[in-house]
């Protein structure tokens, strides 16, 4: 049986907030962030028959408290979907939402689903990564992994160790440019259309979150050079070249192309292939390299065919290890043209769909680009990649 064409219909997200007591979501429940994102998605797609949704998958890394209890089911009910719509929760750490989207896409491609919702949420202020986790002692005692592999910052330092050409200066410059590109995208109005405002409450009263909280557009190389290296004395990873701890939620709608056409739904991207891969947990940032190679091979494509890359900036050195491997310049305009997680923030399981949202919006503006990639590293030594085709592609050569 031929695989059915799968399309990314739409995606939205909450503004991302800084985690912690001073962050804008300190008084907001994790599941309410997901509910708001899902409601925003449904409101933006009034042609979607709610009872036709086959499944809702919502990822979270730390599934406890207000971020537990099978989020896909509880959030779907809270957002107003019929009780006949099922849901589930999933954990693949940073690639949670990417995994729900890829698995939903596979189910649609196989003809088992027509419409599905995939997203993620992470309230790192309430649920820090690893909170209450109890790793099996054999994981470390039998030297299956280094104890350091459970600290993502140290794994980033190890990338600097392994690849001396990935200097702190290169990482700092990448981080600075990410901040500048995000602000430029905001100034152009490229980011705001896909943000769902969220009501917030604090000791000062009610407020409304409408923009990402962690942006630092005035960042300079001089300021970055003075930052501390928290993971190692005289290290190279700092708060300026790494993503901050973040709260936020993302949500997307995928469909069979035939179902989308039947219902009059848009097709912002076409799913081409996806792949996940494992690497040594001690250098988890290398994960997107083999996952991208696998996804390219499955699609019958080469890295030179990719016109846009949305790479999650968990750490600048992690992105640079990817671009170096594929012979891509640090400042190649195809890579994160609107900036990335160093400025937006990285609410772990939610981030994969943020990459898709931005790529879909860029595809609308770039009919000269046929293929794009969303890729990310994943804690404990994994990588995830999805390749998408631009339905607006007009066959013309790339703009200069």
Q: Is residue 400 scored above 50 in pLDDT?
A: no
Longest dimension (CA), the chain: 59
Of 306, 280, 302, 300, the closest CA to residue 374 belongs to: 306
- pLDDT tens digits, one per residue of 270-321: 999 999 999 999 999 999 999 999 999 999 999 999 999 999 999 999 999 9
User: Domains in the chain and their CATH numbers?
Assistant: 6-126+244-270 (3.40.47.10), 144-190+271-388 (3.40.47.10)
Give the confidence band of 399 by pLDDT, cuts at 50, 70, 90. Answer: very low
- In order, the DSSP letters of 80-125 are T--TTS-EEEE--GGGHHHHHHHHHHHHHHTTS-SEEEEEEEEETT
pLDDT at 383: 98
Of 219, 94, 231, the closest CA to residue 158 belongs to: 231
Catalytic residues: 94, 346, 377
Tokens of 233: 């004395």
- pLDDT tens digits, one per residue of 340-394: 999 999 999 999 999 999 999 999 999 999 999 999 999 999 999 999 999 999 9
Give the confidence band of 205 by pLDDT, cuts at 50, 70, 90. Answer: confident
- pLDDT tens digits, one per residue of 236-258: 999 999 999 999 999 999 999 99
pLDDT at 46: 97
Q: Pairing relation of β-strands 87-90 and 55-59?
A: parallel
Give the confidence band of 1 by pLDDT, cuts at 50, 70, 90. Answer: low
Of 89, 111, 116, the closest CA to residue 101 belongs to: 116
pLDDT at 132: 85
What is the per-residue burial (b if ≥16 Cβ within 10 Å, else e) of 196-208? bebebeeeeeeee
pLDDT greater at residue 319 or residue 147 = 319
Beta-bridged to residue 383, according to DSSP, are 277, 377
Distance CA 32, CA 22 (A): 18
Q: Span 183-200, mean pLDDT? A: 98
């Amino acid at each position: 049986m031929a695989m059915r064409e799968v399309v990314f219909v739409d995606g939205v997200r909450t503004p991302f907030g800084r985690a912690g007591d001073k962050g804008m979501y300190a008084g907001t429940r994790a599941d309410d962030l997901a509910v708001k994102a899902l409601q925003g998605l449904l409101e933006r797609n009034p042609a979607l028959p709610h009872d036709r949704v086959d499944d809702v998958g919502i990822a979270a890394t730390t599934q406890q408290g207000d971020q537990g209890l099978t989020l896909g089911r509880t959030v779907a009910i809270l957002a107003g979907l019929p009780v006949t719509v099922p849901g589930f929760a999933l954990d693949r750490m940073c690639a949670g939402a990417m995994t729900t989207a890829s698995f939903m896409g596979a189910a649609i491609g196989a003809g088992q689903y027509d419409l599905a919702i995939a997203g993620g949420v992470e309230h790192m202020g309430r649920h820090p990564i690893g909170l209450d986790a109890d790793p099996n002692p054999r994981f470390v005692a039998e030297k299956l992994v280094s104890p350091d592999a459970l600290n993502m910052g140290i794994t980033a330092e190890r990338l600097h160790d392994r690849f001396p050409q990935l200097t702190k200066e290169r990482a700092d410059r990448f981080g600075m440019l990410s901040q500048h590109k995000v602000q430029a995208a905001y100034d152009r109005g490229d980011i705001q259309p896909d943000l769902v405002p969220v009501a917030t409450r604090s000791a000062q009263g009610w407020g409304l979150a409408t923009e990402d909280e962690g942006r630092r557009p005035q960042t300079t190389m001089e300021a970055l050079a003075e930052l501390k290296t928290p993971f190692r004395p005289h290290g190279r990873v700092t708060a300026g070249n790494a993503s901050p701890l973040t709260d936020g939620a993302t949500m997307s709608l995928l469909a069979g192309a035939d179902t989308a056409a039947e219902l009059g739904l848009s097709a912002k991207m076409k799913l081409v292939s996806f792949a996940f891969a494992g690497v040594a947990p001690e250098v988890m940032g290398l994960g997107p390299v083999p996952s991208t190679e696998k996804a390219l091979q499955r699609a019958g494509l080469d890295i030179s065919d990719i016109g846009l890359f949305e790479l999650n900036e968990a750490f600048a050195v992690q992105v640079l290890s990817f671009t170096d491997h594929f012979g891509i310049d640090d400042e190649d305009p195809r890579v994160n043209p609107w900036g990335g997680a160093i400025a937006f923030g990285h609410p772990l399981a939610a981030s994969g769909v943020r990459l898709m949202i931005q790529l879909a919006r860029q595809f609308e503006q770039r009919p000269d680009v046929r293929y794009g990639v969303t890729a990310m590293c994943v804690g404990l030594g994994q990588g995830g990649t999805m390749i998408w085709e631009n339905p607006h592609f007009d066959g013309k050569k790339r703009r200069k």
